[in-house]
Structure 1
Amino acid sequence: MTVTNGLLSEQLSATTLLRFATAGSVDDGKSTLVGRLLHDSKSVLTDQLEAVERASLGRGQDTPDLALLTDGLRAEREQGITIDVAYRYFATPARRFILADTPGHVQYTRNMVTGASTAELAVVLVDARNGVVEQTRRHAAVAALLRVPHVVLAVNKMDLVEYAEPVFAAIAEEFTAYASQLDVPEITAIPISALAGDNVVEPSSRMDWYGGPTVLEHLETVPVSHDLTGCPGRFPVQYVIRPQTALHPDYRGYAGQIASGALRVGEAVTVLPSGRTSTISGIDVLGRETDIAWAPQSVTVRLDDDLDISRGDLIAPSATAPATTQDVVATVCHVADRPLLVGQRVLLKHTTRTVKAIVKEIPSRLTLDDLSQHPNPGELVANDIGRVVVRTAEPLALDSYEESRRTGSFLLIDPADGTTLAAGMAGESFSAAATAVVDADEGWDF
């Protein structure tokens, strides 16, 4: 059997999609930039634009406030700030886009983690009058923490500094120096005026000293790799299928979405955490058999052996199967209003597996001003970024987040009410991160 043409088309079309997030301090103009991007790229429906025009007139404005295209909550419009993550879908002839407009206020940093967790590019806005501020550094740190491969520094409101090149150059130099300490792989600085439209979609005649791309040009041409086939194969099991019909009396399949890599019929695989091995006897995609399947396809895998496999198990090629561990050392962003404390019992959700766990240690909290580590803070509160050591009741097959954003990430959840406490990235997410030493098993009672 071979992969159908439809599946090949699905793989090829995925390469034209770019997921990106916007971030920046309060009043830097994120929503205006997004509105300008949608408006000037002809991605706004007529009725949407008319609604914005009416709302703008009601507020005494002569021209449409393009920020209203994304600030949809009543509280956002009343306060003039972004509170929740606003997702927008648009397309140009060159590429399709999924945009996450994230909040800028410090108390909503956790919302940026949500928006940027799946992004391949982050647009960080800076007000040309204020330069790089603490929240700018925070957003750069979050982008680095989440391993976003491309960062665009959009120096906004250049019209308010008379489009002066020295102002832009100084901000770009300061931000680049800071982001380089975070090991951000690529930084592109663009001077813009979201309100006037300079260098957003069309090049600015008022900044002829700038010879780089506009924001949209960069979004359309930045190299984006969706090729997860080069990564080790990882298949978290979501559901066991046993139809037990007359046509398929012995059918047993394991359904889920391939997180990374590829799976092939005839390939030796290991089921984790049990460590049992078998061979892939068949792969079903959309009701048809195929010899090979890639991430992120949803498939059903059949094995030669009748093993005890259930939701939460991980199937991986034996040659590249990850090691299992019960001591998870990770960087986390705390997203809950209640603090995370040493000794606290939690649930750890990794792919489709959820296990009991306990917070053994909080070795450090990241200070964003100078990227130093505050040792042994005792707790993490909302929007804190820190290192944790978590002991799980059952083994987990975790990859390093640097190697795989899908199988290297996890959530810490309050077992009492299901509240998400923290988003975690396994392994060393910062080059400057403190080294945490995992103690021997201390007999934690789960």
Structure 2
Amino acid sequence: MVKQSRKKMVGGNGMMIYPVLGFASCIALVYMSFGDIMVVNLQRGEESLLSFVKRNGTHLMVDGKVFYVNGWNSYWLMDQAVDHFSRPRVREILQNGAKMGLTVCRTWAFNDGAYNALQFFPGRFDERVFKALDHVIYEAGRQKIRLLLSLVNNLNAYGGKSQYVKWAWEEGVGLSSSNDSFFFDPSIRHYFKSYIKALLTRRNTITGIEYRNDPTIFAWELMNEPRCISDPSGDSLQDWIEEMSMFVKSIDNNHLLTVGLEGFYGPKSQKGPIINPGPWAAELGSDFIRNSKLSTIDFTSVHIYPDQWFHFKLEFEEKLKYVSKWMISHIEDGDKELKKPVMFTEFGLSNLNKNFRHPDRERFYKTVLDIVYKSALEKKSGAGAFAWQFLVAGMKEYNDDFGFVPAETPYASRLMTEHSCRLASIQGILSSQKDNLKNVCSVRQ
């Protein structure tokens, strides 16, 4: 704003023009207060934005109503948005998700030191890639899909914690070359905090809105599948979660926050020997209950991979029984122990099984979705599930033994759409779903 003289300002007819200035001041105040919202509405050409998702006890809430998530994973969105030739895939998968009535997509908001790296050195970013993430968020908003954004990987893909350790080691400030030093090395913690701050305060170049103020973002996830095997007591990981969750909340109190856990019970848990898929699961340095109890953590995260977890052959029917036991146990924890929503943020069945059949994957999906639906009917803490993973045609190099193209997999599209309708029968069709579900769901509006 240009500074004005303190002299009285007079119009051409000699009349005081204070009322005009007063009106202009009001407009300026409104813009300063709600400028982000005004900018994003102008960019999207929409009458209203998505609302922030909040938590009330064991339930997620949006617009004053309980919100149950039917979601999916497409971790590759930012990477594909970098180049113009692949960018249309972002819109395509988001549109496909919206057509099925899905509400949240989980994806990576990181790429550390790898090809198309967002962060190519601690605190140094490739603006071209940051603009790709801007586009992902903008496009998600246009399709009325919220995003669960993960901040770093425990695995090596897209850099992960090993890249942070490598940076510290190369700079001569690292305490150890062990990947687990990511959790306890002060220099690496500083690197990660700098990254968090840069991301959360990023102003989207398309919408003009800072990430921390954008309700298109459903929640932040501290890390994908954190493990600290060098400290099976869990103290190192717990201390890291405490510090980083407090730091996130100090910058952004608009959004929900989760850890990114797989859901394994720790060595001191009475449930561990009964529910964990094996003794090894209690020795990873994580603990579902302890890690999720923190007041800075808004909802829990659980993954479901019976194919990967069992070190012995398990018949398909036994896998389904285990999945039910695993999910019901964690929903019980959310209701009684944690008093928080439980989100199954990844679930998948491998096509590398010796006797893999698509009808088995269909039954597996149905088992997961049925348990979420039953929890919602009974007003329990099971708040949603995210299938791993959805792609579009021509992305074989991004696929794994769990992924598929929904448009080419009729049973998956049917199951996910039916589940959207079932959840809508409980919570009503959300304003963000009306365009896609009004003609396929016979439920209240």
TM-score if structure 2 supplies the norm length?
0.28
The structure where strand makes up a greater share of residues is 1
The structure where helix makes up a greater share of residues is 2
